[in-house]
Amino acid sequence: MTKTDMMVKELVDKYGSKRESLLPILQGVYDLEHFVSDEAMVSIARNLDLSSADVYGKSTFYSFLDTIPRGKFVIRVCKTIVCDMHDKNQIVDTLENILKIKVGETTLNRKFSLLYTNCLGWCHKGPAMLINDDVYTDLTPETIREIITDYKNRE
């Protein structure tokens, strides 16, 4: 049994092998591996008795289930109107400068990915971003530097 099969099996044991378990299983894979690999999709399909195309269709539907490798910390900056009005560009520029990557890219050490996302529901405290599941609001270039320094020190 490959490492991926083991991981998928554990998730299937936890969430069940019904079709309704598909999204929680995919989310579980993403949390562990920071993307959903082809191998994982094939393994899930086998376990849930679905076609792998079906699993692929499900994964690629959701913007939070990337099918290309992402960094350990995925930064998603809100680009919807109110955050955009509140200097989102300045935030993105700062992040690009600190991380030395462009939006859509991942740092060489696979620690950070920088992505855009749609409305995060923090319009009254924009600009806002997510780092994995954690929310950061009222961002300024200064707070961005502090936050990223903190994450750089995390394992």
Partner 1 sequence: MQERLKRLDVILGIHPESPYQVMEKALKRAPKDIISDLIDSGLKGRGGAGFLTGLKWKFAAAADGDEKFVVCNADEGEPGTFKDREILTLVPKKVLAGMGICAYVIGARKGYIYLRGEYKYLVPHLEREIAEFHKNCFKLELDFNIEIFLGSGAYVCGEETALLNSMEGFRGEPRNKPPFPTNDGYLGKPTVVNNVETLVSAQVVSRIGVEEFKKLGIQDSHGSKLFSVSGDTPRPGIYDLEFGLSLDEFVREFGDGDTKAVQVGGASGFCVPRKKFQSTTIGFPGGLTGDSLPTGGSMMIFNSSRSMYNVLRNYLDFFEEESCGQCTPCRIGCQQLKVGIEAVKRGDKDPEYLQQLLKLTDTMKITAKCGLGQSVANSFSSIVDNFREEMIY
126 CB-side CA count, 13 A: 22
E strands, 22-106, are 73-78
Residue choice 7, 11, 47, 126 for contact with partner 1 (CB under 8 A): 126
**Integer angstrom CA distances of residue 94 from 10, 35, 123, 127, 131:** 40, 25, 20, 13, 15
Best CA proximity match to 140, nearest among 153, 151, 126: 126
Are the beta carbons of 113 and 105 closer than 8 angstroms?
Answer: yes
104 in contact with partner 1 (CB under 8 A):
no
* Piece of 2-10, 90-98, 103-111, 122-130 that binds partner 1 (CB under 8 A): 122-130
* Piece of 2-10, 67-75, 90-98, 113-121 that binds partner 1 (CB under 8 A): 113-121
81 in contact with partner 1 (CB under 8 A):
yes
Interactions with partner 1, residue window 23-42 (CB under 8 A): 23-24, 26-27
- Which residues make up the interface to partner 1 (CB under 8 A)? 18-24, 26-27, 57-58, 61-65, 79-82, 84-85, 117-126, 130, 133-135
